[in-house]
A and B are shown apart, each in its own frame.
Chain A
């Protein structure tokens, strides 16, 4: 169950950890996956603040919605997401967003997550089909991503089988992780960052147009 969608927002507790006064450049990484796949857990594992959550509402004609009781427009869809933060240096701060990847939320992505430097697709290998749509959209958007299989009591398939089931490009990294572990979640983010570097190297090596 996704707490961000079902519970009222928690009242901020304890002192906030404010950013330094020179903070000036925010970066975004999105962790995307189905309900219960471990997005919030992963954000919590690496964030320097307790994960916060909020929501965005968007109206679009003809969109079926779950709950329109608290928004005036009948066609409003609300997507809830949570996020954490990692200060990289005095000026640079990385925000990690945990966001649902279901089809009905995707039209909000352009608005919310444009400018994301990369994405982690978190998968549960008992429910791989829930990741197809997200992977398809990320490819379509040209957002660099990696896939991390969260450990829910031992794998059901080999990573090769997962790669095949997801029809994943051989260049897209696919790794195992345990979202509850800070070390493992850090490794997931590092794998994404190294993948970005590889893509960069490839671009840099290409002739300048």
Chain B
């Protein structure tokens, strides 16, 4: 796979995001799962196309970042573009620290059962 982040040229990252430093949405977490809603089409940048191919199955933002070799912040900008264009959808983590909602007992039970099964 083309590994766009590895050439370490800042202008490359700058071009990828058209110079933006923030994503269009603030709600993307490392573990938000992204699902492609359509396949890559001609004209799409190789990075966006690669994300769509990865996200044929639900794939977390942090896995996209690692697989493409792009920093998390750049990945979030690219993923936001796909979400804004309706080409992908996001499944947000149900537990977030904002307002510190309790981890619900059912989810905690899943953690215990899942870990015991390791």
B-binding residues in A (CB < 8 A): 8-9, 11-12, 16, 18-21, 23-28, 46, 52-58, 70-72, 78, 83, 85-89, 92-95, 97, 112-117, 142, 182, 186, 189-190, 193-194, 196-197, 200, 203-204
Q: How far is the CB of B26 from chain A (nearest CB, A)?
A: 10
Residues of A within 8 A of B66 (CB): 9, 52-54, 83
Quick check: B97 and A9 within 8 Å, CB to CB? no
**A-side binding surface: helix, strand, loop or mixed?**
mixed
Q: Closest residue to B63 on the A side, CB-wise?
A: A52
**14 A-B Cβ contacts within 8 A?**
A9-B3, A12-B67, A20-B57, A25-B94, A25-B107, A27-B93, A56-B72, A58-B73, A115-B93, A115-B95, A142-B100, A190-B115, A193-B112, A196-B111
Given contacts A27-B31, A88-B113, A95-B31, contact A196 B108 (CB under 8 A): yes
Residues of A within 8 A of B111 (CB): 27, 88, 92, 94, 117, 193, 196
Quick check: A92 and B114 within 8 Å, CB to CB? yes
Please tell me if B43 contacts chain A, counting CB pairs below 8 Å.
Answer: no
> Of A27, A114, A182, which contacts B97 at CB under 8 A?
A114
Q: Closest residue to B75 on the A side, CB-wise?
A: A54
Q: How far is the CB of A205 from chain B (nearest CB, A)?
A: 13
Quick check: B10 and A71 within 8 Å, CB to CB? yes
Residues of A within 8 A of B60 (CB): 26, 93, 95
> Of A26, A94, A194, which contacts B32 at CB under 8 A?
A26
Please tell me if B20 contacts chain A, counting CB pairs below 8 Å.
Answer: no
Q: Apart from A18-B58, A95-B30, what 18 extra A-B contacts exist at CB < 8 Å? A: A21-B57, A23-B58, A24-B58, A25-B107, A26-B29, A26-B30, A26-B60, A27-B107, A70-B9, A83-B66, A87-B114, A88-B111, A92-B114, A95-B60, A189-B115, A193-B108, A194-B112, A200-B103
